[in-house]
Amino acid sequence: MNTEITRLREKRRSDRAELDALLDDVHVGHFAIVRDGTPVVFPTAVVRDGDRVLTHGSTGSPWLRALAAGASTSLAVTAMDGIVIARSAFESSIHYRSAVLFGSCYQLAGAEKLRAMDLITDALIPGRVAELRPHTDKEIAATQVLALPIETWSLKVSDGWPEDPPEDVAGDAWAGVVPIAPRYGYPRPAPDLRDGIAVPASVAALR
């Protein structure tokens, strides 16, 4: 698999630690497969577990079943970190970190599957597993957990300043970068939540 970046090569990064940081920051990825001769993309939750990326979903999902059967895939994960405001629309852009991983997934089972299910939950809401009842046998049977090894990948990072030409720099337009920082809002209780049930520590800690 050729992962060479052919345009804006200066944005290519080869440091595995930078890739891991992106995968730890962003928990929405897009898996691509070819199904019935047509390329299709599926957004889903993803969590890094050491040298692999985990995803899970219904055992009835056709695309997950295709991945479980060993279909070749690519996984794209992107973080938008800022807006680059140049002195012209042409030079304006965004700060981003974007990776594509290539390979085939494999299915987890038994104790490894249960551990992965808990890891995914705690990656999204740290400490939540300890507050919840155990998975039921029915829930475990209905859930498919897959892992994609982190072996072949490409990482591109844009984090520079506006690259305005000298004639625009000499003008009066403002230029710079506005960082983007995601944040959590206030917890909204479910309409059927019984009175007297407080917001759990894991949820309160998100803020």
> pLDDT tens digits, residue range 1-39?
656 666 667 889 999 999 999 999 999 999 999 988 999
pTM: 0.90
* In-domain check, residue 197: yes
* In-domain check, residue 139: yes
Domain residues for the domain of 144 are: 9-164+176-205
- Which pLDDT belongs to residue 197? 96
* In-domain check, residue 121: yes
* In-domain check, residue 46: yes
CA distance 164 to 168: 6
Domains: count for the chain: 1
- Which pLDDT belongs to residue 87? 97
CA distance 20 to 76: 13
* In-domain check, residue 1: no
> pLDDT tens digits, residue range 88-141?
999 999 999 999 999 999 999 999 999 999 999 999 999 999 999 999 999 999
What beta strand segments (E) does the chain contain? 12-13, 28-35, 38-45, 47-49, 52-58, 72-85, 93-104, 106-107, 143-149, 152-158, 176-179
Burial of 51 (0-12, 13-18, 19+ CB in 10 A): exposed
What CATH number does the domain containing 24 carry? 2.30.110.10
